[in-house]
Amino acid sequence: MVQNIVGEDDFQKKVLDSKVPAWIDFWAQWCAPCLAAAPLLEDLAAEYEGRVNFFKVNVDENNSVARKYGIAAIPTMLVFKEGRPVRQVVGYKAKREFKKILDEVLAE
């Protein structure tokens, strides 16, 4: 299962200090494309379990985290590796596009 919720209090520990890459889904409950992407991300979390951690950041509840990373539209996904963002995806994409990004990050 995926998508652990992460926020201001635990972002450092769960994302920035992580030994494995982290996929962060910046979303909101009222965002239809965000809700549409959720099942894809659940599938990817299962497929990449142990190699990539998946988290959700609710932008309404954790606005300071969203601001810090320049999130201007949702859904926006950031992939962190070694404590820094290395990829950004804005909007809903096909699963194969998400997989391509993850595979690239893991190969680096």
Per-residue pLDDT tens over the stretch 11-48:
999 999 999 999 999 999 999 999 999 999 999 999 99
How far is 1 from 52, CA to CA, in rounded Å? 12
Let me know if 25 is a catalytic residue. Answer: no
How far is 33 from 53, CA to CA, in rounded Å? 21
Let me know if 31 is a catalytic residue. Answer: yes
Catalytic residue, chosen from 2, 6, 24, 34, is 34
Catalytic residue, chosen from 3, 7, 28, 31, is 31
Domain spans in the chain, listed from the N-terminal domain onward: 4-107
CATH of segment(s) 4-107: 3.40.30.10
CB under 8 Å to 37, separation ≥6 — which residues?
25, 27, 75, 92, 93
**pTM for the predicted model, two decimal places:** 0.93
pLDDT tens digits, 44-103 = 999 999 999 999 999 999 999 999 999 999 999 999 999 999 999 999 999 999 999 999
